[in-house]
Amino acid sequence: MFVGVGPARVRDLFAQARENAPCIVFIDEIDAVGRERGKGGFRGGNDERENTLNQILVEMDGFNPSQGVVVFAATNRPDILDKALMRPGRFDRQIALDKPDIKSRKEIFQVHLKPLKLIANTNTEELAKKLAEITPGFSGADIANVCNEAALVAARRKAEAVEMADFDAAVDRAIGGIEKKTKVLSPEEKKLIAYHEAGHAVAGWFLEHADPVLKVSIVPRGQALGYSQQLPKDQYLITKEQMADMMSVALAGRVAEEIFFGMESITTGAEDDLQKVTRIAYSKVSKYGMSERIGALSFKTEEHGLKPYSNETAEMIDEEARNIAEEAYKRTINLLTVNKEKLKALANVLLEKEVVRQEDLVQVLGERPWKHDLAYLYDEATATPTPTEQPKQ
């Protein structure tokens, strides 16, 4: 609103830093003023944000070690920062803080479990380990939220202490959202949802590279009418076979509806699943070079509506993505047809219990034919995977 206020504040900030040297200056969300010039809505040289960025660059340009001022900045969007900010002498040391792995999650849980009143004789270390195993992909803030939510769940039921069931409910809420007790489903809708979720569970149970199924629920939560909770491992590379199994698991809900109710009765419940399948299919073709027809090429995401390839290549990409999705659909139909009776039995158990856990899945579907991946548990001393037949509940 007032031109020049941003640069003036930057000058004052660094003047105070020099007066108080040795000093640390921390700038949070640096991308708010550090966006690349010429992009992100900057209107030209007189834009206030650009002037503020220019002043930061000027203040940092003349530093030398004797001044004793160190500048830190944080951002979730390093990809949009101006290149001048990253030059030597400015923010020339970058530290990426990824989401914690299973060992780090256990240690974070141990910190946040300390203030909680747990049931007597609870082994905090073992509890933290169990919780770390069922919360892959959770950040430190997510973990703190789970512990806080577990305490609230225990307080609502007027319990004297927090127990594992409260943590299960907290994880369910973190993954699926708030339970919608006022959302009443008709018997027909409930049956469709049960078969849909049973399809996901059966596919995840019998496919080698799918993540082990931990829990299946048809209790409405958030925007979801049901969900299957799987136990993905901390993984940074995904193979072509794993991507094929991921697509089959995503399609299994829609396929189950088609097998038991017919193509005319399929519902809109598979929207998120189909979006996931579409994203994987196009990524295999246009990003990861996994299509023989397209070859070992990778195209950047479209910017400003411009495609970095010809119309002929675009048609080939569409055809290849469609073929990959159709192949995954046929593969899923074959899998669920072979296990049709088991899928039906699981759907009936879901209709009866509403929430089915891993021990129920073993009882209905039998032991999983594939051993659980060794990366779910680790050795305390070396933090390396250790063999196990079943993940701890």
Asked if residues 377 and 386 have their Cβ atoms less than 8 Å apart, the reply is yes
Q: Which residues does residue 378 pair with via DSSP β-bridges, in sequence order?
A: 385
* Annotated catalytic residue within 59, 149, 197, 258: 197
Other Cβ atoms closer than 10 A to 371: 13
Active site residue 36: no
Question: Prior bond to 22 cis, omega within 30?
Answer: yes
Report d(CA 87, CA 211) in Å as an integer.
42
Complete DSSP assignment for 11-64: HHHHHHHHHT-SEEEEESSTHHHHBPTTSTT--STT-HHHHHHHHHHHHHHT--
Asked if residues 282 and 274 have their Cβ atoms less than 8 Å apart, the reply is no
Other Cβ atoms closer than 10 A to 120: 7
Structure tokens at 295: 């070859």
* Catalytic positions: 197
